[in-house]
Homo-oligomer: A and B are copies of this chain.
Amino acid sequence: MGYPTIQTPWVSHVHTYHDKYVIVYNFRDVDPDTATKELTLLVHDLESVGLDTEIRSGYEATLLVFAKAPRNILGSAVYNSRVKDWLYGIVQTHPGDRSTNVEGAYEAENILSVYHLVNWPKSKGGAGITPGWGQWKNVDSIFPLHNDATNLSLLKYLSSRLILTPDDLDQVRNLFGTKVAYYFAFIQTYVVFLTFPAATGLIAWQFLPKYSLTYAILISVWCTIFIEYWKIQQVDLSIRWDVRGIGAVKVARPQFRWEKIIVEGGQTNHYFPRWKQVARQLLQIPFMVLSTCILGAIIMVVFALETLISEAYSGPYKTYMEYIPTILLGISLPKIYGYLESFATLLTDFENHRTEDNYDMSRTQKIFFLQIIANYLPIFITAFLYVPFGDQIIPKLGVMVGGVMGSYGSYLQSPTHVDGDRLRDEIIALTVTGQLSAFFEENIQPILKRKFREWYRDYNATSAALPSVTDDDEGEFDFLQSARRQATLEQYNVQDDIAEIVLQFGSLALFPPVWPLISIGFLINNIIELRTDFLKIVREQRRPAPVRTDGIGPWTTSLDCLTWAGSISTSAIVHLYGSNSIAGGAWWALPITIFIGEHISMGLRAIVRFALDRRGSEQIRKERNARYLSRVKHLEEIEANRLANLAGLATPAERERKKSIRATGSDAFFAKQIEDGASVQAGLDLMRAYRRADEVKQQPKID
């Protein structure tokens, strides 16, 4: 709970990274007068909260405004942030008296305070620099600088570890804040859990029948245990990192529109009716339905064409023709996907979230839904339309398309036979290409992009010598080169990385029995991913603002939904493809199998939840003990009170005094058996009397 005074290695370097923030001002499309005004205001606002500024040139019509918080300003900001945490009940203990030398416990705590000084609205004590929005639309970005030395040593350390302990995660938190650290905690937990399906997958592949029910149930249980365990883990970490319930402390995003201001209990709340927000969020449902229909229709058509050409077409240019649908998809999908994405953004804007976190998460969730559709729908079509009905549908489709195509139609022939293994192939193709393309997108593409941009910039620069860059002072050259490079990088969005893992979890939850070996691939991929992701943040992305969260947010709900959907999809696949299905896998029995499968899975989930709930969270117990300890001296007071009271009874004087109080009290009933032993004696007398009366009654009456 306390804030240990630790070694602060970052202040020993020539350049410090814990107290600086870079503001990138872009003057390409700004006329000189406006630029002068804006830059003056920018520097003024930064200085008005106590930040020092230095300006250097950046690449391509940008200025890098370096803002540094002097020691007393930074200390004060860190202290205030801690007090605020305590004020909102995030931590239970007051941070103690203010000293001017308050120092962040780790680099990210300092940077967070600098971030708040730069970004928070003026009413909250910041300079109110909001990149790309409002009066700061010419500010491209604001970001803290990478601490290369620490990055490198942590990267080396992490590469040498197979399993990250909470202490290792602390290191990540110290550098990049809890939001990023949670991602690493999540992928770490997931990797450890993946060993189970990987091991059993190998066994299932060797010894169990295809589409095995046993393996399907095993994986369903595994999914549930993983999620429930992660939820507890998440709470544990939030207590460990003092961020439980941190959402309450977050400031409103500048785009948030309130209806009125409510002053309640000393707090000024910007009020936007909750029911309105809820109603707006419910618009997600039609959005989901709509986008499922649109994406579904496109995928269906392309799928049908592809199947038709590859299996029924035998005319000229077959080799080329086969690629036509894929090319069509390649052209149309990103466009439509882009439309849907911007629609999702509009919808999220309309939802009017108060904090940036909620906004980000809500938006990512919508886009994630689109990803799910785009990724899994082809498999669903293969599993539940193509393989079972292909033999009937494809010929009909051939006739239909043949009619449209005129003379080319004659090349369409009856296909040989629908490929039963296509489901497995589809899944393998999907996952393998998915993992590979994700790897490329994440790790290779940014490097290529950057290299190209650097080459282009140099090509440009040589033709018109940029005085700014070449005029660097001797000692600043490396530092400035690094800062300029970072300014051109993309912002790191941890949500994308989480989405990737959750999507992967989805293919495991939805189609486990199709190809059990899939999880081995995932395991290997993720062990690598964990390291390359760190490398990616360090090398190819701007250092993220170390904002705090108390978990991965709505992603746990996504995991829950995928597990639930998995129980249905798995039952259906086992029913249709497995060897021991109810009624031999007949269609009319499918709902029965699904019903049974889903409810077995629900029952198991209830049991797992019950068991893990009872087991409870280690960290919560620790927290409770800590609070207890901090208050325990009062327990001793209680005991002393009690003993004092009782000791009083022992002295004869006190006993006499007590008797006289009792005798003169208003309660006449309790003034009868005052003397020592009187009540026992009365009781014994009563018993004796009763026994005597009873004996009399038992004796035969003698007349």
Binding site for B on A (CB under 8 A): 14-16, 25, 27, 32, 35-36, 39-40, 43, 47-50, 52-57, 61, 63, 65-66, 68, 70, 72-73, 76, 79-80, 83-84, 86-89, 94, 98, 125, 248, 264-267, 274-275, 277-278, 281-282, 463-468, 473, 475-476, 479, 588, 591-592, 594-595, 607, 610-611, 614-616, 624-629, 631-632, 634-635, 637-638, 641-642, 645-646, 649, 658, 661-662, 666-670, 672-673, 679-680, 682-684, 686-691, 693-694, 696-697
Could you write out 12 A-B pairs with CB less than 8 Å apart?
A54-B679, A55-B682, A56-B686, A66-B669, A70-B658, A87-B634, A94-B634, A265-B625, A265-B629, A278-B611, A282-B611, A467-B689
Minimum CB distance partner of A623 in chain B: B89
* C-alpha gap A362/B652 in the complex (Å): 49
Instruction: Determine whether the beta carbon of A50 is less than 8 Å from that of B649.
Output: yes
C-alpha gap A66/B671 in the complex (Å) = 12
Choose among B27, B588, B631, B667 the residue that contacts A687 (Cβ–Cβ < 8 A). B27
CB-CB nearest in chain B for A72: B645
Whether the pair A638, B83 counts as a contact (CB closer than 8 A) is: yes
Contact of A667 among B68, B467, B697 (CB under 8 A): B68
Question: Contacts A638-B83, A670-B54 known; A614 to B274 CB distance under 8 Å?
Answer: yes
Closest 5 CB pairs of A and B: A265-B625, A464-B697, A591-B591, A55-B683, A53-B679
A675 to chain B, nearest CB (A): 12
Contacting residues, chain B, for A48 (C-beta < 8 A): 646
In the complex, the answer to whether A70 meets B36 with C-beta atoms within 8 Å is no
**Whole-angstrom distance between the alpha carbons of A169 and B616 in the complex?**
33
Residues of B within 8 A of A94 (CB): 634
Residues of B with C-beta under 8 A to A49: 646
Q: Considering the complex, give the chain B residue whose CB is closest to the CB of A564.
A: B602
Query: Please, how many angstroms separate the alpha-carbon atoms of A50 and B655 in the complex?
Result: 11
Q: Which residues of B lie under 8 Å from residue A642 when comparing CB positions?
A: 76, 80, 125
Distance in Å from the Cβ of A31 to the closest Cβ of chain B?
A: 10
Known interface pairs A592-B591, A667-B16. Does A35 touch B687 (Cβ–Cβ under 8 Å)? yes
Q: A84-B638, A624-B89, A683-B65 are in contact. Are A274 and B616 (CB under 8 A)?
A: yes
Q: How far is the CA of A56 from the CA of B669 in the complex (A)?
A: 10
- Residues of the B chain whose Cβ atoms lie less than 8 Å from the Cβ of A645: 50, 72-73, 76
What distance in Å separates the Cβ of A545 from its nearest Cβ neighbour in chain B? 21
Query: Are B83 and A479 neighbours in the complex by a CB distance under 8 Å?
Result: no
Taking each of A52, A594, A649, A691, which has the highest tally of chain B beta carbons within 10 Å of its own beta carbon?
A52
The one of B73, B476, B626 in contact with A669, judged by C-beta atoms closer than 8 angstroms, is B476
Instruction: For A646, list chain B residues within 8 Å (CB).
Output: 48-50
Contact between B468 and A686, CB atoms less than 8 A apart: yes
A15 CA / B49 CA spacing, docked (Å): 69
Q: How far is the CA of A40 from the CA of B275 in the complex (A)?
A: 66
Contact between B265 and A626, CB atoms less than 8 A apart:
yes
Verify B274–A690 contact, CB threshold 8 A.
no
Q: How far is the CB of A110 from chain B (nearest CB, A)?
A: 14
Copies of this chain, count: 2
Prevailing SS type, chain A contact patch: helix
Partner of A693 from the list B464, B614, B624 (CB cut-off 8 Å) is: B464
CA distance A661 to B669 in the complex (A): 82
Question: Chain B residues with Cβ under 8 A from A275's Cβ?
Answer: 611, 615
Best-surrounded residue of A56, A275, A662 (most CB of chain B within 10 A): A56
Distance, CA A36 to CA B662, complexed state (A): 25
Q: When the two chains form the complex, which single residue of B25, B80, B615, B690 contacts A61, counting CB atoms closer than 8 Å?
A: B690
What is the chain B residue whose CB lies nearest that of A476?
Answer: B669
Are B693 and A629 in touch, CB under 8 angstroms?
no
Q: Give Cα A583–Cα B491 distance, bound, in whole angstroms.
A: 56
A646 CA / B588 CA spacing, docked (Å): 76
Is B661 touching A625 in the complex (CB atoms < 8 A)?
no
Residue of B nearest to A19 (CB): B667
Contact assessment for A625 and B264 in the assembled complex, using a CB-CB cutoff below 8 Å: yes
| Contact across chains for B14 and A666 when beta carbons are under 8 A apart | yes
Please measure, in the bound complex, the distance between the C-alpha atom of A77 and the C-alpha atom of B552, giving whole angstroms.
Answer: 45
Name 7 extra pairs, CB < 8 A, besides A14-B667, A87-B635, A467-B690.
A32-B687, A55-B680, A73-B645, A83-B637, A86-B634, A265-B628, A467-B693
A662: chain B residues within 8 A (beta carbon): 52, 70
Chain B residues positioned under 8 Å from A673 (CB to CB):
53-55
- Interchain CA distance A632-B642 in the complex, whole Å: 36
A658 nearest CB across to chain B (Å): 7
Task: Assess whether A641 is in contact with B274, with CB atoms less than 8 Å apart.
Answer: no
The CA-CA distance from A84 to B264 in the complex, in Å, is 31
Give the interface centre of A16, A27, A641 by most chain B CB atoms within 10 Å.
A641
- Contacting residue for A39 out of B84, B616, B684, CB 8 A: B684
Other-chain residue from B47, B475, B595, B696 in contact with A594 (beta carbon distance below 8 A):
B595
B475, A88: Cβ atoms under 8 Å? Answer: no
Complex interface: chain B residues within 8 A of A625 (CB) = 264-267
B54, A638: Cβ atoms closer than 8 Å = no
What's the Cα separation between A480 and B693 when bound, in Å? 20
The answer to whether B265 touches A54, judged by C-beta atoms less than 8 angstroms apart, is no
The answer for the CA separation of A690 and B461 in the assembled complex, in Å, is 11
Query: When A282-B607, A645-B73 are in contact, do A686 and B98 touch as well, CB less than 8 Å?
Result: no
Residue of B nearest to A475 (CB): B668
Chain B's closest residue to A694 (CB) is B464
Nearest B residue (CB) for A676: B47
Of the candidates B16, B39, B248, the one whose C-beta lies within 8 Å of that of A680 is: B39
Give the docked Cα–Cα distance between A687 and B61 (Å). Answer: 7
A465 → chain B closest CB, angstroms: 7
A691 & B54 in contact (Cβ 8 Å cutoff): no
A669 to B693, CA, bound (A): 106
- In the complex, the answer to whether A43 meets B595 with C-beta atoms within 8 Å is no
